[in-house]
């Protein structure tokens, strides 16, 4: 491990040493609840969408807009949820999220009209901010400290199977029950699985201050957030997120525009998802061999190269499928990069708050990415649109290369000098 990477590591919370089984039980619980939360609150919707539009007569773009409104709500509430989590731990936050998510899916199922439907998805977005990756990653980061890479990788690998599990399940349910009954079933699954696991197993000790006086917390957070390194990192991850999510969500139209059948294109999209798992498996090795700034830059350059390859390769189909798998692997690595970038640079103190502030712009970018990618493709054509997305991602890599400066290093020395 490089000297920079070692110096950025924060000590593990001492309170975890008394019972190492408790964070392991919490990790298992989070693996199950993240898989379920992603499946019910995110991946089921694209499967249900066609039947929903056919039944209600609502325009597909309007129905998708309601779902996007939920994603934007999730991004907007990321920072407040992070602050609550830093103070009280994940048990209260994620249990509340389970209750809100269940109510939101029930409201989706009962929606009599578009205004109700939009409001229901905005409530689902609030639940997502308390249930999906950011709070789970924050919890594991605080519990495991320097040993966080392995549990974070484990969680992302299991949760990465959520589309594999819930897309076929949603398709089966909507075929036999209709979309409203499907969401009733999904609401029941979310409640039965996540409520007891969050309430009973997210119990490892959660030190509020971990050696820092609480009155200094706001100024410490402001020091980091106002630093040049933090601003550049947040901007870099936002540009990369926009490029990666826009590219992968518009992959099928790109492939079909190259003469590939819809079935083969859908298979390529599924293999892109499998590639995400491969990327996540390789991330621990990357962290051992690179500093925080180097691996951020490398991952974003690889993302730009993968998107550019999809723009440039006209065929044949096996080569395009290979490029799709590569793009998926980079996106999987990007997920873990988001989970670790703040902790690698500024330690785990106030991690939930800082991570939420750093990733909120990227979450907003991810929310608008599908529509932005489709708009660009409609105006420029798919190859030119993907080339532009590659350039945007490469610009993010350039910002990431500058995301370490004197001020952030001085802040790190001041923080370490105040430790008892």
**pLDDT score of 276:** 82
**pLDDT score of 262:** 75
User: Which 8-state DSSP code applies to residue 40?
Assistant: I
Q: Predicted confidence band at 370 (pLDDT cuts at 50, 70, 90)?
A: confident
Number of H helices, E strands in the chain: 20, 0
Q: What is the CATH number of domain 18-201?
A: 1.20.1250.20
CA distance 153 to 286: 12
Indicate the range of 30-34, 192-196, 267-271, 353-357 predicted with least confidence: 267-271
Q: Distance of CA 138 to CAs 6, 85, 396, Å?
A: 20, 8, 24
Q: What is the pLDDT of residues 111-144, one digit of tens each?
A: 999 999 999 999 999 999 999 999 999 999 999 9
Tell me the chain's radius of gyration from C-alpha atoms.
21
CA distance 32 to 302: 31
Query: Same CATH topology for 18-201 and 214-417?
Result: yes
Domain residue ranges of the chain, discontinuous segments joined by +: 18-201, 214-417
Task: Identify which has the larger pLDDT, 89 or 420.
Answer: 89
> What mean pLDDT do residues 371-386 have?
87
Indicate if the alpha-carbon torsion angle 216, 217, 221, 224 is positive or negative.
positive
> What mean pLDDT do residues 34-44 have?
93
CA distance 78 to 3: 32
pTM greater than the 0.75 cutoff: yes
CATH architecture assigned to 214-417: Up-down Bundle (1.20)
User: Which 8-state DSSP code applies to residue 16?
Assistant: G
Indicate the range of 29-43, 155-169, 388-402 predicted with least confidence: 155-169
Q: What is the pLDDT of residues 46-103, one digit of tens each?
A: 888 888 989 999 988 788 888 889 989 998 999 899 999 988 999 999 999 999 999 9
CA distance 111 to 119: 9
Indicate the range of 140-144, 215-219, 246-250, 282-286 predicted with least confidence: 215-219
List, in order, residues 6 or more apart from 70 with CB less than 8 Å away. Answer: 121, 122, 123, 124, 125, 128
CA distance 74 to 370: 16
List, in order, residues 6 or more apart from 204 with CB less than 8 Å away. Answer: 15, 16, 19, 22, 23, 26, 143
CA distance 223 to 230: 10
| Whether residue 410 has pLDDT greater than 60 | no
| Whether residue 209 has pLDDT greater than 60 | no
Among 15-19, 45-49, 355-359, 393-397, the range of highest mean pLDDT: 393-397
**pLDDT score of 106:** 97
Structure tokens given for 9 = 């590591």
**pLDDT score of 300:** 95
Long-range contacts of 225-231 (CB under 8 A, 24+ apart): 225/354, 225/357, 227/405, 227/407, 227/408, 227/411, 228/402, 228/405, 228/407, 228/408, 229/345, 229/403, 229/404, 229/405, 229/407, 229/408, 230/346, 230/354, 230/358, 230/403, 230/408
List, in order, residues 6 or more apart from 158 with CB less than 8 Å away. Answer: 31, 32, 34, 35
**pLDDT score of 404:** 66
Q: What is the pLDDT of residues 215-234, one digit of tens each?
A: 445 567 888 888 999 999 99
**Burial class (CB within 10 angstroms; exposed 0-12, middle 13-18, buried 19+) of 282:** middle
| Whether residue 308 has pLDDT greater than 80 | yes
Structure tokens given for 376 = 């660009």
Q: Reduce the DSSP state of residue 104 to 3 states and report it.
A: helix
List, in order, residues 6 or more apart from 22 with CB less than 8 Å away. Answer: 16, 203, 204, 205
Q: Is residue 135 within 8 Å of 81, Cβ to Cβ? A: yes
| Whether residue 184 has pLDDT greater than 80 | yes
CA distance 160 to 133: 11
**Burial class (CB within 10 angstroms; exposed 0-12, middle 13-18, buried 19+) of 285:** exposed
Q: Is residue 165 within 8 Å of 39, Cβ to Cβ? A: yes
State the helix-helix crossing angle for 133-144 and 351-380, rounded to 10 degrees.
Answer: 140
**pLDDT score of 219:** 66
pLDDT over 70, % of the chain: 88
**pLDDT score of 368:** 85
Indicate if the alpha-carbon torsion angle 416, 288, 354, 30 is positive or negative.
negative
């Amino acid at each position: 491990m490089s000297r920079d990477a070692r110096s950025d590591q924060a000590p593990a919370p001492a309170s975890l040493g008394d019972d190492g089984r408790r964070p392991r039980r919490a990790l298992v619980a989070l693996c199950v609840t993240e898989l379920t939360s992603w499946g019910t609150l995110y991946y089921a919707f694209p499967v249900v969408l066609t039947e929903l539009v056919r039944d209600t007569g609502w325009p597909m773009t309007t129905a998708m807009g309601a779902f996007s409104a939920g994603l934007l709500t999730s991004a907007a509430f990321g920072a407040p949820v992070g602050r609550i989590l830093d103070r009280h731990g994940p048990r209260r936050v994620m249990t509340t999220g389970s209750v809100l998510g269940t109510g939101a899916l029930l409201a989706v199922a009962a929606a009599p009209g578009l205004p109700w439907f939009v409001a229901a998805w905005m409530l689902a977005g609030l639940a997502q901010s308390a249930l999906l990756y950011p709070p789970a990653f924050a919890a594991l980061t605080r519990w495991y400290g320097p040993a966080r890479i392995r549990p974070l990788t484990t969680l992302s690998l299991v949760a990465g199977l959520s589309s594999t599990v819930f897309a076929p399940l949603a398709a089966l349910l909507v075929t036999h029950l209709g979309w409203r009954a499907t969401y009733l079933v999904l609401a029941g699954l979310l409640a039965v699985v996540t409520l007891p696991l969050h309430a009973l197993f997210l119990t490892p000790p959660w030190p509020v201050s971990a050696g820092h006086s609480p009155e200094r917390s706001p100024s410490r957070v402001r020091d980091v957030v106002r630093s040049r390194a933090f601003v550049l990192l947040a901007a870099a991850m936002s540009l990369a997120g926009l490029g990666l999510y826009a590219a992968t969500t518009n992959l099928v139209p790109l492939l079909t525009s190259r003469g590939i059948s819809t079935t083969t294109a859908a298979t390529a999209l599924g293999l892109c998802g499998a590639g995400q798992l491969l990327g996540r498996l390789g991330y621990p090795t990357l962290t051992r061999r690179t500093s925080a700034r180097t691996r951020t830059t490398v991952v974003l350059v690889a993302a730009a190269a993968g998107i550019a390859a999809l723009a440039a390769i006209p065929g044949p189909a096996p080569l395009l499928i290979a490029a799709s798998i590569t793009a998926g692997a980079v996106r999987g690595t990007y997920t873990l990069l988001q989970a670790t970038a703040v902790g690698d640079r500024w330690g785990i103190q106030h991690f939930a708050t800082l991570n939420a502030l750093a990733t909120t712009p990227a979450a907003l970018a991810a929310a608008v990415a599908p529509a932005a990618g489709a708009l660009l493709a409609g105006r420029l054509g798919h190859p030119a649109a993907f080339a532009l997305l590659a350039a945007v991602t490469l610009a993010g890599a350039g910002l990431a290369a500058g995301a370490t400066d004197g001020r952030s290093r001085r802040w790190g020395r001041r923080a370490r000098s105040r430790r008892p």
